[in-house]
Amino acid sequence: MRGVAGPDLSSQLRRGVLEYCILAVLAGGDRYGFDLVRSLGAVEGMRVSEGTLYPLLSRLRRDGLVRTEWRDSRAGPPRKYYALSDKGRSALLSFTEEWTSFRDTVDRILKGEIEP
Amino acid sequence: MTATGDPDADRYLRRLERAARGVPGRARWELLADIEAHLSEVIERSPGNPAAVHAALDALGPPDAVAAAAGARPGRPSTRDVATIVLLLVGGILPFPILGWLAGVVLLWSSPSWSTRHRVAATLVWPLGLVAPVLLLISAPFMSSESTVCSGSASTTPTGGTTSPMRCVTSGHGNLPEWLAVTVAVVVLAAPVVVAVWLYRSAARSERADVETAAPVTVW
């Protein structure tokens, strides 16, 4: 019985959280796909392959959490911009609360402060 | 579709296009457009820089993983496709010699699950499927049996003495070196099985796919 081993564990942990990280980045302002994906891919510890972010963005759009818009770039092809929608903003807010209390609880259990 | 102008980027896109066959409808085209725009951006920023493209492709991750993130699941091949593969394998023998295999070939060429490459390979690499290996197996005992023929007989020489110039020749089909015979047997047996597995995988991948678009030849 090895449980969830290394890479599996971190990818499982990331699964439900990554989309809120995207929403959080977009809370700081609109970003176009390449830019958004590159900066998330470059975050140390995220260890996310950039290609898998696009399907996630597509799902966020379908769920109405982000809006997309094509804008011309000064040189080169038009860019697809992602922006946080109102629904996305409130989803981010409730996640932030949930996450903070969940993280604190887990921390306390891990430190042995709580006997579950 | 798939025209960034960079051969490696285009090859990646073609491979993704294939991997994403199981992604339903619009999501598939959106994914392909997004990745294409991403790669175009890379090329735009560092024109004529293959190393930059390679780094970008590495960062994107394998097409299969990208497609899987978009919901592509390797499906299970349809009953019809499985029947096709079974007929191609054993149809040369069962249920009717050769006819079963011919039916398999007809199914093979009329199914959208396979590209022309698959069809040609499956038809030519192992015509009649396992007939050849089975024949080989059946005839193996006979082939290895050796016959010894002795010619000449004791004859009287003019000098009155007798010599026996009996010459015995051991002959038979067993004059193939053993290692060669084993190699041939393995290849003949393995070829149909390898092609069958290849067909099965391809059928599984194209399951859930919409209409087969002009299948690109992808070697990434």
The pLDDT of residue A96 is 96
Tell me if A58 and B61 make a contact (CB, 8 A cut-off).
no
* Three-state helix/strand/coil letters over B7-39: HHHHHHHHHHHHHHHHCCHHHHHHHHHHHHHHH
- B41 CB neighbours in chain A (<8 A) are 34, 76-77, 79
Residue B16: closest C-alpha in chain A: A51
Q: Is B80 helix (H, G, I), strand (E, B) or coil?
A: helix
Per-residue pLDDT, B58: 93
Per-residue three-class SS string for A25-77: HHHCCCEEHHHHHHHHHHCCCCCCCHHHHHHHHHHHHHCCCEEEEEECCCCCC
Closest CA to B43 of B56, B33, B30: B56
Judged by CB atoms closer than 8 Å, whether chains meet at A55 and B41 is answered as no
Taking CA–CA distances from A47, the nearest residue in chain B reads: B59
**Which pLDDT belongs to residue A43?**
85
Q: What is the pLDDT of residues B137-164, one digit of tens each?
A: 666 655 554 445 555 544 444 554 445 5
Facing A34 at nearest CB: one of B27, B41, B65:
B41
> Up-side HSE of residue B7: CA atoms within 13 Å toward CB?
3
Which residues from chain B sit within 8 angstroms of residue A79, using beta carbons? 37, 41
- For the cut 60, the answer to whether the pLDDT of residue A69 exceeds it is yes
Predicted TM-score of the model (pTM): 0.57
pLDDT tens figures, B32-91: 999 999 999 999 888 888 899 999 999 999 998 899 888 876 556 777 788 788 777 777
| % residues pLDDT > 90 (chain B) | 17
Cβ(A65)–Cβ(A88) below 8 Å: yes
Distance in angstroms (rounded) separating the CA atoms of residues B189 and B205: 25
Please determine, for residue A114, whether its predicted confidence score (pLDDT) is greater than 80: no
Chain centroid to Cα B220, Å, comes to 17
Smallest CA-to-CA distance from B199 within B128, B105, B134 is with: B105
Comparing CB atoms, the residue among B38, B61, B63 nearest residue A33 is B38
